[in-house]
Chains A and B, each alone.
Chain A
Amino acid sequence: MSLARLGAAAILAAACGLPRDPEGTLDRVDHGVMRVGVVHAPPWVVDSAGEVGGVEAQLVLSLARELGARVEWVRAPEARLLESLHDRGVDLVLAGLTADTPWAKKVALTRPYYTDTAAFGAVPGAARPEPREERHVLAAPPGENAWLVRVERALHAREREVPAMLRAAAR
C-alpha cells in the first residue's frame, strides 16, 4: 500500500521535471548571463590575449549557445573561484580539475567528460611515478542540481569530440 503510494509519488515527481535548483541557477542562466570562472590550465583552459579557449571553454561555449546565454569570464585564482562557488558567485569553474581534487566535498563536480592517464611530478633521481587515471571534471555550485544536470548533459553530448579537440590543441 505505502509502496504503491510511493511509486505514485515518484511518477508524479518525474512529471514535474526533477531535479530543481534551490536557488534557480538554471533559470537565471537560461537566456541570461553565465558567469564562468577560468584558470589558465592548457590544454583544458587556455587564457591568452584576452581570449579564453581550450577544451573546457569550448564545451562551455557550446552549452551557452544551446541556452542562448552570454558567457562572462571571471579570472581569479583557483582557490578563490572554487570558494565562491559555495555562495554562487560564479556558475561554473573551469580549471582543468580532476575528480580526485581535494575540493570534491566542497563543490559539485560534474561527472567526468574525459578520462586519460598521466604521470606527474617525478622526484629527481627516483623512478617515474605510476601513471594515474585522470578523470576531468568541471565544478558547479553545490546543490544547484537542475543546473548540474543540464551541464552534465551538455558535456555527455560532446564527450566524443574531446579527443579531436585535444589533437587540434596539440598542433
Chain B
Amino acid sequence: MTPAALSIVEASNAMQRGQLSAVELAESVLEQIDKLNPTVNAYITVRHSDDVLGEARQADQQRREGQAAPLTGIPIALKDNFATAGTRTTAGSKILAEWIPDRDATVVGKLKQAGAIIAGKLNMHEFANGTTNDNPHFGKTRNPWDPDRTPAGSSGGSGAALAAAMCLGATGSDTGGSIREPAAFCGVVGLKPTYGLVGRAGVVPFSWSLDHAGPMARTVADTALLLQVMAGYDPGDPGSVPSAAVDYLRDLGRGVDGIVVGIERHYFTKVMDPGVRRGFETTVEHLQALGARIQEIHLPAAELSLAAELAILFPEAASLHRSWLDERPQDYGEDVRRSLLSGRLYRAVDYVEAQRVRALLRKQLAEAFQTVQVLLTPTMIIEPVSWGCERFVIDGAERDPLEAFIRCLVAFNLTGNPALAVPCGYGDGGLPVGVQLVGPPFSEATLFRVGRAIETRFEPNRRTPPLLEASTY
C-alpha cells in the first residue's frame, strides 16, 4: 500500500518509529495527485513539489531534533475557500480566480503551526453554493468510487482527494451539509463542529449564521486529531466561542456501553434508499450489540428544517454577493447565479419566520438531548448518484433533488449542534453509505467515541475505491 493511503495516525506512528520519512510520504502524495487528479479533478491548485518536499525535509529535521508537533510532516489539503497567504484562493469561482490573499485563514495558520504540509487547494462547488461539485470554471470533481458519479459537495474536492489518497486530511466548510454530503458519498469521515468551535476568519463566507468550518479525514481518529488542532477561539470570527480545551482523542476507545442513542423515525429515518436503510439499521444493531441503548425521540420542527434553511441561507448569501450579482452576474455559473438571485425573492417576514422555526427546532433538540446522548440519522438518504440525475424516486415517491441531498443535514446548520458523518457500509451498487451522529453543543468527544465504535464494526468490511486500487496496489 502506498504511504499516501495511510491514516494520519498510522503515518505519524511510522515516522516516529523511523519507518517512514516525511519526504517519502510527501512524494507518495504528490505521485497520487499526478496519477489520479487528471481523472478525479479534486485539486484546483497543487503546490509546487519543490515547496512541498522542502517543507517535508524540514519536518524530518524537526522530528530528528525531537521537535515534532501533532501533524509534523502530514500532507493536508484545503478546500479552496480557505485563504492561503501567497497561494490563490478561488472559492471555486471565476470572480475570485486570481485572488491571492496576504494572510492565512485562522485554521490554516493552526494547521501549519501543528506541522501540517499544505499539499494544495481543493475543488468545490462554486462559492460553496451547491451539492454536486459540477464546477463550470474548474471542471467537475469526480467520485473515486465511480467517476461517472458526483462526489457530492460543496466540499467534493475534499471528499474525493481523501478517498483517492491524494492527501491524508482535508478541510471543508458546511452551510447546509457540505462537509457531510461528500463524506458520505466518498466513504470518508467529516465533522461539522459546534457553531463557534472552529474559527472561520479567512474562510470565504456563504451564509454567516449557517456557515461552519471543519475537518475531514479517512478515519474517526484522524478527524478528532484534526479538530484538536483546528478548534479554539478565533478573534477574527464574530461567531467564535471561547471554550475549554478538550482532548478529542481521549474517549475514542471507550466503546458505547450504556450510551443512549436517539432515533427519530417521523422525519430523519422516514425516507431512504434501500441500501442506505440497510446500512442504517445494521448500524443500530451494531450499537445495540455493543451495549448502547436505543430510544425513539420526536422532533416535529424537523419537517420544516429545509424550508427554514433556504429562507435564511439565500437572503444572507444574496446580501453577501449583492455587488457582484449586480455588476458581473455573468461571471457566475448558471445554477449559482440563479440561486443567489433567488435570495432577493424572499420577503423579510419569510426570513423572520424561518428564524422563529429555527428557535423552535433548537428548543426541541435541546429537550431531546435531556434523554439521549446522541442522535443517529442517515447522512444522505440516497446512494451516490450519476451526473445529471434530476429525478429522485425514493421509497416509491418522487422527491425534490435538493431534499434528496440535504434532508437530514440542514437541521443542524440551523441549530449549530455538532454532526459527524461516518461510513457504515455499501449500498446496492457497492458504493459507500453513511450515518450521521448529532450531539449537544460541544459534545464532539462523545460523537468521536460513538463514531469510532461504528467504524470498528465496519472496518473488517472496508473496501477500497476501484480507482485507488488500480493506482496503488
Asked if A and B bind, the verdict is no
Report which A residues bind B (CB closer than 8 A). none
